[in-house]
Every structure is written in structure tokens, then in C-alpha cells.
């Protein structure tokens, strides 16, 4: 029997329960792992509330990201062996393989090996943001040196990763953020320019600021985590032949099809499952991320740790650190396991996705990084404005073509929660 977090009804964190459940042996294509750390995502909050892309099958578990050690492999699994240190990437339904537990059975195809020297905290924090960005800049389109890339909500986990990836590829990252207090930190993290959306509320102001930052020519690529009506301004700020990828829905508003006159661009939705669900693409993403880590170009940013002794009134902040850590593998420390959760023989029910949620629900928060996960894009149609086709247009999504635009092929930390299971 292993301790597992489940919920039997939709709602806030108060519906979560600790239950002792048996763990089945892994079947074909599966492995059983010991869970040392798990990643927290906004998608899991929405899943528990019934607002996600799929509905939970009650009673349901949670989680698609974790780091730990392989305990047992299924009969046909050859890549992994007991004792391997691995990370789990989002590549499956939470209804099928939840990871909020002491042990979990997961698909072998959803595992990546942790680089030597990387601890479980970093291992649970790194893959989703960097793989998400990789998919957008290397699989959907390809970024070119000198391209101007607009990164909205840049202080979240994917945004901070995108700053590093875009810089590594020789492009020019332009960050947007809602708060002027984040400007200096984003510049230190690699942004060539930072636009504060709270200061650009007049109609056309954001589009004008982007055009100014790009020397008047417009952006070649937009990675948008916000969605909603602002997408129209982003489209208007683009150069001819540009691409706008909506990979999140932080605005909570519908994303309209832009109307009126603007340069021919291509607009589409994206989720990380396009990469993690394709074994070949995931293998390429793994090599891409490992290469960036090995050279030091990618430095996963773990902003802070709230240990288990913390008061419930502590909340997470959304401000990124002033600079990335020098050593990507020394960015985190293990929380004190001798604290409150050990005495209670269970971890406190903790949750994080954004500051307002943590404050409103008044929960203890464990944050390793300044993260607003946003890869649960709204159910947006793929809209093609121009004759521009993505590199892997595999999804069966509706496509609308307006104009005649040639495609340009245009690659990251995380918030995690320690599984401090006290017995």
C-alpha cells in the first residue's frame, strides 16, 4: 500500500484526500517508479475543478510530472532498469497515470533519464518548460538568427525558459509582463526588451511598442501564453510571414479570430503533448535540452523553496529571480524533512499555480521556481492566415486559410512540490 492523493468530487484543494492504495505491477510498456518529487501545474488545478481539456473520472488522481527512481519494469520494457534515475514528462491522461503518490505506474515512453548530478527537484522542474518551448521553435516552426520573438507572460516558467532558448538560437527575445517590477529581472534573464502591458492599455499601444522594439518591421514569431482579445494586437504587431502560437489561456477569455487589415500571418494553438506524444519528437527534444544544459546555455531557475514547516499564510510570488543560477544543477535544495510533514506522517495538502490562487485558498505553498504554467491552451482552432503550414500539423484541427503566405520555419522553470512522505 502506498500513500496517494485523490479527490472524489470537483472543487478546490479541500477535496483532496490521502488514501492508502495498492500499486499494481507494471504492464507492457509501463514502469513503476518511486516518486521523489512532483511538478505542479495550473492544468492540474483546472483538472481538479473540472475546467480542463478532459474531465476527471472520479475518484481521480492528479499529476503528470515527477522525478524518481525506477523500481520495476513491464515485461517488454528494455530501455529502463530498476535503479535508473528518471523524470516523468506530461505525455498521458491524469485519469490513467496520476503521479501524486509515493509510487506510480507510468508509461515507459513518458520517461527521460536525469542527467548525471541532477537532483530530483530539478529533474521534476526542468522538462515541461524547455520541451514546450522546443516544440514551438523547432517542431512547429524554426526560429532563425536575428528573428524577433515576442514572449508574453515572460516571467512564468515557460517564458523564462523561452528567453534562454531564443537567445541560444541567436534570435532576439522581447518579453511582455503585467508588472513593471519584473522588468529588471527579465532583462537580467536575457530579454532584449521588456514591455509592461499595464502601461500599454490604449488600443494599439502594445502593437506599436512591439513594432518600435523590432525597428518597425514587426515580430517574426510570437509565443503567447495569455490568449484572449490581446491576440489581435499581437497579430497586428507581426511582420509578413510571421507565426503566432497560442500555448496558454492565462487571460481566461475566448481568443477571437483577428479581423481587419494586417500582414499575412499564421495563428495556431499548441500544447506540449504534440511533442511528448510523439516518441521521435520527444527524443529530439531530450537531446536539445541536454545539449543546452551541458553547455550552460539552459539554466533551470528554481526561485525558492517553502518547506513543510511554513505557515498556511505564506504565498508564492510571481517575481523571477534577479539572475539565473550559475550552475544549472545547484539551483535547489531539499526541504527539511524533519519538519511538520514528518510529524504528521503525511505532507500538507499544498498547491500552487498563481499568486491569487494561493492567497485565496490560504494553503501552505511549496514553490521551486517562479512558475505560472500555461501549456493547457484553450480549445482554439488552428487558424492559418496565409499559406503557411506547420512542420508537424498532425492534429485533426480545423484550419482556415486566408491569404497567400509562405511558411518560415521558425525549443524553458518550474514549480515543484517535494513528496516528503513521513511514515
pLDDT digits (tens, 9 = 90+) for 293-329: 999 999 887 765 544 332 222 223 233 443 433 333 3
H-assigned helices in 241-305: 273-276, 279-295
Q: Dump pLDDT digits (tens) for 61-117.
A: 999 999 999 999 999 999 999 999 999 999 999 999 999 999 999 999 999 999 988
Relative to beta strand 60-61, strand 2-7 is antiparallel
| Cα angle 40-46-49, degrees, rounded to a multiple of 5 | 120
Where does the pLDDT of residue 407 fall: very low under 50, low under 70, confident under 90, or very high at 90 and above?
very low
Model confidence at 423: pLDDT above 70 = no
* Complete DSSP assignment for 36-53: EEEE--HHHHHHHHT-SS
Q: Which residues of the chain form CATH 3.90.180.10?
A: 2-125+300-364
Strands, DSSP E only, in 170-231? 172-177, 193-196, 219-224
| 202 CB neighbour count, 10 Å cutoff | 8
Count the Cβ atoms, other than its own, within 10 Å of residue 365: 26
Looking at domain 130-299+365-412, its CATH class is: alpha beta
CATH homologous superfamily, domain 2-125+300-364: Medium-chain alcohol dehydrogenases, catalytic domain (3.90.180.10)
pLDDT for the residue numbered 336? 27
| Helix, strand, or coil (residue 179) | coil
pLDDT at 303: 63
Amino acid at each position: 500500500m502506498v500513500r496517494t492523493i485523490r479527490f472524489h468530487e470537483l472543487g478546490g484543494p479541500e477535496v483532496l484526500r490521502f488514501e492508502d492504495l495498492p500499486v499494481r505491477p507494471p504492464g507492457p510498456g509501463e514502469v513503476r517508479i518511486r516518486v521523489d518529487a512532483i511538478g505542479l501545474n495550473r492544468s492540474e488545478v483546472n483538472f481538479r475543478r473540472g475546467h480542463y481539456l478532459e474531465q476527471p473520472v472520479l475518484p481521480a488522481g492528479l499529476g503528470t510530472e515527477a522525478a524518481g527512481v525506477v523500481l520495476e519494469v513491464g515485461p517488454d520494457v528494455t530501455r529502463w532498469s530498476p535503479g535508473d534515475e528518471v523524470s516523468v514528462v506530461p505525455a498521458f491522461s491524469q485519469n490513467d497515470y496520476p503521479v501524486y503518490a509515493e509510487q506510480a505506474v507510468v508509461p515507459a515512453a513518458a520517461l527521460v533519464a536525469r542527467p548525471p548530478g541532477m537532483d530530483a527537484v530539478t529533474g521534476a522542474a526542468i522538462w515541461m518548460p524547455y520541451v514546450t518551448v522546443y516544440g514551438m521553435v523547432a517542431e512547429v516552426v524554426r526560429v532563425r538568427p536575428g528573428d524577433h520573438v515576442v514572449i508574453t507572460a515572460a516571467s512564468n516558467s515557460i517564458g523564462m525558459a523561452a528567453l534562454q532558448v531564443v537567445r541560444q538560437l541567436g534570435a532576439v527575445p522581447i518579453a511582455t509582463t503585467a508588472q513593471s517590477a519584473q522588468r529588471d529581472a527579465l532583462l537580467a534573464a536575457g530579454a532584449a526588451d521588456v514591455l509592461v502591458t499595464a502601461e500599454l492599455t490604449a488600443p494599439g499601444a502594445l502593437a506599436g511598442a512591439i513594432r518600435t522594439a523590432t525597428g518597425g518591421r514587426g515580430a517574426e514569431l510570437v509565443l503567447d501564453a495569455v490568449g484572449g482579445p490581446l491576440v489581435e494586437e499581437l497579430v497586428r504587431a507581426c511582420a509578413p510571414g510571421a507565426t503566432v502560437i497560442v500555448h496558454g489561456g492565462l487571460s481566461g477569455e475566448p481568443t477571437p479570430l483577428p479581423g481587419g487589415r494586417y500582414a499575412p500571418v499564421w495563428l495556431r494553438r499548441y500544447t506540449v503533448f504534440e511533442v511528448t506524444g510523439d516518441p521521435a519528437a520527444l527524443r529530439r527534444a531530450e537531446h536539445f535540452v541536454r545539449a543546452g544544459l551541458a553547455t550552460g546555455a539552459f539554466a533551470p531557475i528554481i526561485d525558492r523553496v517553502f518547506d513543510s514547516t511554513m505557515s498556511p499564510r505564506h504565498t508564492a510570488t510571481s517575481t523571477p529571480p534577479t539572475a539565473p543560477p550559475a550552475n544549472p544543477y545547484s539551483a535547489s535544495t531539499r526541504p527539511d524533512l524533519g519538519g511538520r510533514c514528518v510529524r504528521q506522517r503525511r505532507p500538507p495538502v499544498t498547491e500552487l499555480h498563481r499568486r491569487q490562487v494561493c492567497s485565496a485558498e490560504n494553503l501552505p505553498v511549496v514553490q521551486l521556481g517562479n512558475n505560472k504554467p500555461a501549456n493547457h491552451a484553450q480549445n482554439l482552432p488552428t487558424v492559418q492566415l496565409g499559406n503557411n503550414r506547420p512542420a508537424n500539423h498532425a492534429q485533426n484541427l480545423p484550419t482556415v486559410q486566408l491569404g497567400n503566405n509562405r511558411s518560415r520555419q521558425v525549443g524553458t522553470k518550474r514549480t515543484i512540490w517535494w513528496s516528503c512522505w513521513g511514515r
